[in-house]
Amino acid sequence: MKRRRRGRPKGTKLTLARDRQNAAIALWKAFRVLGYGTHEAGYLALMVVGGAPIQLEDVEGVLTVASTTIKYKASTLDKHVNALARKAARASDHDPWLVASTAAIRGLIRGIRTNRIELAAYMFDVLIELGWRVVLARFWARIQTALRSNIPPHEGPLGRAQASRLKAYVENSRKRSEG
């Protein structure tokens, strides 16, 4: 007796509308169009749709860093990001929801960067119409604690000692994340 395979039959595709990662795919495409590389776009997309709170940390009194924890099912975070990037690259550029979502995300970011509040507000409305209400509400809830934090900005010139401490911190952080 032949065992039946679990899951979706081979060769079938899940529509983007029913895919759990549809928001991450749209964000990845938008970040790619804005000039980010495949991995950077993947990390940013997963950061936006993730579930952990976003925290601000003070680094040696010189730099404020925003960080979060990204849940993943692959053996490493890099493999999870690679899988998202491959999946997003395969997604059809002709899907109306994906095209509209990508354009709205780009418009939202452009509105925020250029301080055009009316453009950003309109793009929020477009995203809500496209079904992003839950994703945007979850993202807002995650950054509320970071917005309430009271980390004072660094004032004055960056001295040699502070710059070397910052460089050492960044190098140690990179080694910890790679190893």
Residues 74-95 pLDDT 10s? 778 888 888 889 988 888 888 8
> Are 104 and 127 in contact, with CB atoms under 8 Å apart?
yes
Domain count, the chain: 1
Is residue 151 in a domain? yes
List the structure tokens of 65.
């860093």
Is residue 121 in a domain? no
Is residue 65 in a domain? yes
- pLDDT, one tens digit per residue, over 45-73 is 988 888 787 777 766 666 677 777 777 77
Is residue 58 in a domain? yes
| Residue found under tokens 């917005």 | 147
Percent of the chain surpassing pLDDT 70: 77
Please tell me the pTM assigned to this model: 0.70
The answer to which of 72-76, 121-125, 151-155, 161-165 has the lowest mean pLDDT is 151-155
Is residue 1 in a domain? no
List the structure tokens of 105.
């995300």
- pLDDT, one tens digit per residue, over 91-133 is 888 888 999 999 999 999 999 999 999 999 999 999 999 999 9
Is residue 7 in a domain? no
Is residue 45 in a domain? yes
Is residue 149 in a domain? yes
If you write DSSP's letter for every residue of 83-112 in order, what string do you get?
Answer: HHHHHHHHS-TT-HHHHHHHHHHHHHHHHH
At residue 11, the pLDDT reads: 59
- pLDDT, one tens digit per residue, over 66-78 is 777 777 777 788 8
> Are 54 and 68 in contact, with CB atoms under 8 Å apart?
yes
Q: Identify the domain containing residue 141 by its residue range.
A: 16-94+133-178
